[in-house]
Amino acid sequence: MKIAPSILSADYVNLQKDIEVVDAAGAEFLHIDVMDGSFVPAISYGPGWVKAIRPITKMTLDVHLMVENPERYVETFVAAGADIVGVHVEATQHIHRALQLIKNAGAKAEVVINPGTPVEAIKPVLYMVDQVLVMTVNPGFGGQKFLPETLKKITQLDQLKQTEGYDFDIEVDGGVKDNTIKDCAAAGATVAVAGSYVFDAADPAAMVQTLKDATK
């Protein structure tokens, strides 16, 4: 299981320090949550942050766009240094086009589904994605409780990988802790985002290690 600490819960004034700590602890991805105040109530940060972070780490920059009509912005985020760009199927009339734009710009393309969205809604694009993000809370805020019903969708996606020969990573995001990560791994998840569990702790590096150990 790859670990993707989310900077949403990091210390923005000392962001470089927080990023260096999880990088040194062996986190493979850095998860960057972009919120537009429309698709989700909160406003977070934009491509300027990705551009500023890019030179200070070699971690995979995993950008989660919680933005209406994300196809307007995907190329800007790739140019800023995103390695993976995730777009919500609920946020656009043109999910196929949004994913195509990401791939054409040279990044990995990820489709994201909310807890209330079935796997069926993304079946037509599964052949073209590098990663599927199954939201395990409703998007918009850190520190929410994991929704166990979402595990069924992880299992369903894992089965589709086997029956259809797809080769995408399955990422989970929301309420990931040392106990919930085990259930996600057992269901077939391969990447786990963790925000508050890592950065609200006194020792974020130890939390990254605990998450890694939990799925060994």
Binding site residues, Zn ion, CB under 5 A: 33, 64, 173
CB 194 within 8 A of CB 201: no
Summarize the annotated binding site for substrate as residue ranges.
Answer: 6, 64, 140-143, 173-175, 195-196
144 binds, among ligand DX5, Zn ion, none (CB under 5 to 8 A by kind): ligand DX5
The footprint of ligand DX5 on this chain (CB under 6 A) covers a number of residues equal to: 22
Please tell me whether residue 6 binds ligand DX5 under the rule CB under 6 A: yes
Please tell me whether residue 114 binds ligand DX5 under the rule CB under 6 A: no
For the bound state, the minimum distance from the C-beta of residue 145 to ligand DX5, rounded and expressed in Å, comes to: 8
Q: Which helix (H) or strand (E) holds 61?
A: strand 60-66
Q: By C-alpha distance, which of 156, 153, 58 is closest to 114?
A: 153
Alpha helices in 66-203 (DSSP H): 74-80, 95-104, 151-164, 180-187, 196-199
CB 195 within 8 A of CB 22: no
Please list every residue from 128 through 187 that binds ligand DX5, using CB under 6 A.
Answer: 137, 139-144, 173-176
Angle at 88 between CA 13 and CA 27, to 5 degrees: 45
Please tell me whether residue 19 binds ligand DX5 under the rule CB under 6 A: no
Q: Which is nearer to ligand DX5, 160 or 174 (CB)?
A: 174
For 140, left (φ over 0), alpha (ψ -120 to 50), or beta?
A: left
For the bound state, the minimum distance from the C-beta of residue 162 to ligand DX5, rounded and expressed in Å, comes to: 27
Please tell me whether residue 5 binds ligand DX5 under the rule CB under 6 A: no
For the bound state, the minimum distance from the C-beta of residue 127 to ligand DX5, rounded and expressed in Å, comes to: 25
Please tell me whether residue 62 binds ligand DX5 under the rule CB under 6 A: no
Cα–chain center distance at 155:
18
Q: Which is nearer to ligand DX5, 114 or 160 (CB)?
A: 114
Please tell me whether residue 86 binds ligand DX5 under the rule CB under 6 A: no
What does the chain come to in residues?
216
- Which residues are catalytically annotated? 33, 173
CA dihedral 53, 30, 176, 71 (to 10 degrees): 80
The residues binding ligand DX5 (CB under 6 A) are 6, 8-9, 31, 33, 64, 137, 139-144, 173-176, 193-197
